[in-house]
Chain A
Amino acid sequence: MFTRKDVLGLRDMSREEILSILDTACEMKKKVNDPCLRSDELKNTSIVTLFYENSTRTKTSFSLAGKYLGATVQDLGIASSSVKKGESLIDTGRTIDQMGVDVMVMRHSLTGAPHVLAANVKAHVINAGDGANEHPTQALLDLYTIRDYKKSFDGLKVAIIGDISHSRVARSNVFGLGKLGAEVVLAGPSTMLGGFGKLGVHTTTDVKEAINGADVIMGLRIQFERFKTMSFPGLEEYRQLFGLNSEMIKKYAKKDVLIMHPGPVNRGIEFSTEVVDSGNSVINIQVKNGVAVRMAVLKLLMEGGHVK
């Protein structure tokens, strides 16, 4: 059953809810692949995207997801809106709420901002990333992609490498993968590993240990914009200590390891170009699945609990 008003994170989502989204996304993916199957199920649905933080792929993905289901999608250009005149988040939300909007998709640099919005508007709110907290639809598309290739999560070893402590993608994946039964290992510089010790996952500063026997390797983008003070000396040092190349992956990970990345990739930093473009890489497929997963989330929210 999917009866929740908002999708704010995977931390408070049940295993059943996650699976119902993944199942629905299977149907949706056909529509992404074949324009003839695109429908108007959400014909009378109005969606507004509010991106307080820059994004190209997530915003476009949500926008297309809505359109493929026949919804009206409008972006509130934050840069040119009353937000720049100092309007509060709650006031902006309430204003948009009055315009007959069914779903608000929000990205914000502050943790909990979508939760505050959700508590103050009638519309459904989808969190498209809040601060260093959660990015639920990214994790859902990652879960979808993993399940698509590996069929089951039981006993899977998933290594997530990079700037863990600033990563909402890592957090949502930790919550989601944990609920579905996978083993998660997080690796990165000790100064970027904080914040996960108590979440029941293994953390290590040894990238080889992390990818040893891994079924999935997820690289995370080094997010320069989130550093108040640099927590490692430089990109070259990072590449040497934590960057992954094909030799290492061949030596330590499983043969059929999936190489994933939420993008945008810093080529030659997190992964060598070879790895990004290798046969094991599903980085581009993740993007396609992202549209399908977001269609599923929109559909389930609007249907309010009917999983077909």
Chain B
Amino acid sequence: MKILIKNGRIINPAAGFDKVADLLISGKKVEKIGKNISEAADKTIDAKGRIVIPGLIDVHVHLREPGFEYKETIESGSHAAAAGGFTTICCMPNTKPVIDSEIMVEYIKLKAKREAVVNVLPIGAITKGQNGEELAEIGKMAKAGACAISEDGKSVENSGLLKTAMNYSKMFSIPVLSHCEDKSLVSGGCMNAGEQCQIMGLKGISNDSEDVIVARDIILAKSTGAKLHLCHVSTKGAIDLIKDAKARGQEISAEITPHHFTLDDTAVNSYNANTKMNPPLRSKEDVEAVRQALKDGTVDIIATDHAPHSSDEKNCEYENAAFGIVGLETALSLGLTVLVDGGYLTESQLIEKMSVNPAKLLGIQKGNISEGFEADITIVDPNAEYLIDSSTFLSKGKNTAFNGYKVRGKVETTIVGGKIVYEKGKIK
């Protein structure tokens, strides 16, 4: 099978390439990039006025399967990913049972092979059952294909245990993805502690609850030499800590979610729980700090923290509502609208943070559509403006904070390993 993509603007930051050209896919791979490719193809896509980019890679996704299939499945989550232009997603281990063993990693891989339309890479838990008590079988999981380890949704409270895990993880060259939250400082909070929280009368989550663990994890990564990646960084304080560590030559990476670079806590202006997430939407100052961190390179990755929930889990008392919102189907549009149009990133830099850098973190041969690479490719109409409407989502989760939000950039075609999996609103 050969697919010829004609006249698109190919943005391939990994090769420093940004030109209008044709791209020929042959089998699973990119065969050729150049002007006026006239070779016969089984399918030709007219990409005039479109951007052709390496498929997006999301290092932070909750697929909910097994255990919470009513929220999302590997299949439905992969459809949402394809619709959002993602060709590889990493799924967090907070399932039931927890992904904390070789057999669970194998199970996710098997289900994904059978039902997913994009590449799914499981992330293993750091401790058994995410209980924070004893190490999960990190080595066996890594050998079975876990792309990283993470305690996901919480920190390993015991610093000694985390240090051991970091030290151990080095043998398998997998990153440790850290959710940074000191529970004793959160004590039942459900939105950012600040002015808006005072107005709403809800319990607050202070920035220091995130910052102290960011500091601890940076220190432990330094002493162990582990590959630390900080999840969903949301505070100015955390950004400053990362900047300091990088200035001292420490290699760490971090991610920021689209909701944290787009919305501040004034979005929590009713008790509608679609604005409830963890970490919470922060102050205007924090939002500006995370945007600047993306701009100046302090933060290298954009990840969605796609967290689907059923409507009942959100349509209830704010404090009782589940944390998190879906993100796969809105991330690219928000990146283009907020970061590119806002002057923080060029389109090429946005693609770096959504594809090239995630691939580097995971150490996989992706995020690059040069000749000879796997054909994971997304075609986007960058000028298509639309209003976000959760009823059109392919994810089972309709829990978004962005309903009615005006954005630009619509994914038209998603190609995974040379196969069109999504085209014009439909899974193929």
Contacts and interface: CB of A to CB of B under 8 A. Distances in A.
A215 B197 CA distance: 30
Contact of B318 (A90, A110, A197): A110
A228 B187 contact: yes
Contact of B201 (A88, A90, A171, A228): A171
A133 B200 contact: yes
B195 A112 contact: no
Contacts of B271: 111-112, 115-116
Contact of A111 (B195, B201, B312, B315): B201
Nearest to A130: B201
Contacts of B203: 111, 131-132
Interface of chain A, main secondary structure:
loop
A110 B320 contact: yes
A16 to B, nearest CB: 21
B317 A89 contact: yes
B387 interface: no
A111 B318 contact: yes
B267 to A, nearest CB: 15
Interface in B177-192: 187-188
Interface in B87-102: none
B197 A195 contact: yes
Contacts of B202: 111-112, 131, 133
A228 B184 CA distance: 10
A102 interface: no
Interface in A1-35: 11
A113 interface: yes
B312 A88 contact: yes
B37 to A, nearest CB: 57
Given A112-B271, A115-B271, A199 B317 contact: no
A112 B195 CA distance: 17
A112 B317 contact: yes
Nearest to A11: B199
Contacts of B317: 89, 108, 110, 112-113, 116
Contacts of A89: 316-317
Contact of A88 (B199, B316, B318, B319): B316
B391 interface: no
Given A111-B201, A112-B202, A90 B316 contact: yes
A130 B319 CA distance: 11
A198 interface: yes
A270 interface: no
Contacts of B164: none
A270 B153 CA distance: 41
Contacts of B319: 110-112, 131
A150 to B, nearest CB: 27
B270 interface: yes
A134 interface: yes
Interface in A77-123: 88-90, 108, 110-113, 115-116
Contacts of A157: none
A196 interface: yes
B131 interface: no
A221 interface: no
Given A110-B317, A110-B319, A110-B320, A115 B201 contact: no
Contacts of A108: 317
Contacts of B188: 228
Interface string A222-236: 000000110000000
Contacts of A113: 317
B312 A198 contact: no
B198 interface: yes
Given A112-B271, A228-B187, A197 B320 contact: no
8 contacts: A90-B316, A110-B320, A111-B201, A112-B318, A116-B315, A116-B318, A198-B199, A228-B187
Interface of B: 187-188, 194-195, 197-204, 270-271, 312, 315-320
Given A90-B316, A112-B200, 17 more contacts: A88-B316, A89-B316, A108-B317, A110-B317, A110-B319, A111-B200, A111-B201, A111-B202, A112-B271, A116-B316, A131-B202, A132-B203, A171-B201, A194-B204, A197-B198, A198-B195, A198-B199
